[in-house]
Structure 1
């Protein structure tokens, strides 16, 4: 499993960000070829806030190659072009392999 993570800074209008993101951007992202699943979080800082992102998107693909194909696709270009419409401050993207060997806690 491979994860694409996108973190967004705090917007000037949080309600407008959330509405646009849910109603317009996520439906675009759902069309990314090879996207298996995704999750979205609006985290709260734990302790003093040292730059907690406003929003985190994590999209899951079978492989790094599948993720790259999705990003380079026509749909990927459409998703990227949409970001300034709701996040004029941009976004930080990174990716990583997901270790699927989870420790079972008793």
Structure 2
């Protein structure tokens, strides 16, 4: 079991600018969030050729609920959150999830 924050990015006005800022500025900000055990991200494709609801999705993993709660109020998470306005012109949907392994 682990806990994660999922960050779902809507299609940005300028995808190239999003990609540049995300990889050069936002990833380094997010990677230093305390308690982070894994950080993944990727661009989204639809399986039926329709427009996907998101441009990209990032997942930030934490070992336990306490680590997640501490991370959410940390200065590092707050800084990463404030950075969203600098590149996420397509909007952002975020949620937390307790993940259970089923296999």
TM-score, normalized by the shorter chain, greater than 0.5: yes
Instruction: Give 5+ residue unaligned stretches, structure 1.
Output: none
- 8 Å CA contact 2:44, 2:52 repeated in 1: no
- 8 Å CA contact 1:44, 1:52 repeated in 2: no
Runs of 4+ in 1 over 2 A off after TM superposition: 48-52
Please tell me whether residue 16 in structure 1 is matched to residue 48 in structure 2. Answer: no
- 8 Å CA contact 2:43, 2:55 repeated in 1: yes
* Root-mean-square deviation (Å): 1.3
TM-score (norm 2): 0.91
| CA distance in 1 between partners of 2:76 and 2:61 (Å) | 16
- 8 Å CA contact 1:17, 1:87 repeated in 2: yes
**Map of 1:1-106 to 2, 5 A cutoff?**
1-49=2-50, 51-102=52-103
Report SS of the residue matched to 2:36. Answer: coil
Q: CA deviation at 1:70?
A: 0.7
Instruction: Give 5+ residue unaligned stretches, structure 2.
Output: none
- 8 Å CA contact 1:5, 1:93 repeated in 2: yes
Q: CA deviation at 1:61?
A: 0.2
TM-score (norm 1): 0.89
| CA distance in 2 between partners of 1:34 and 1:8 (Å) | 23
Q: CA deviation at 1:3?
A: 1.2
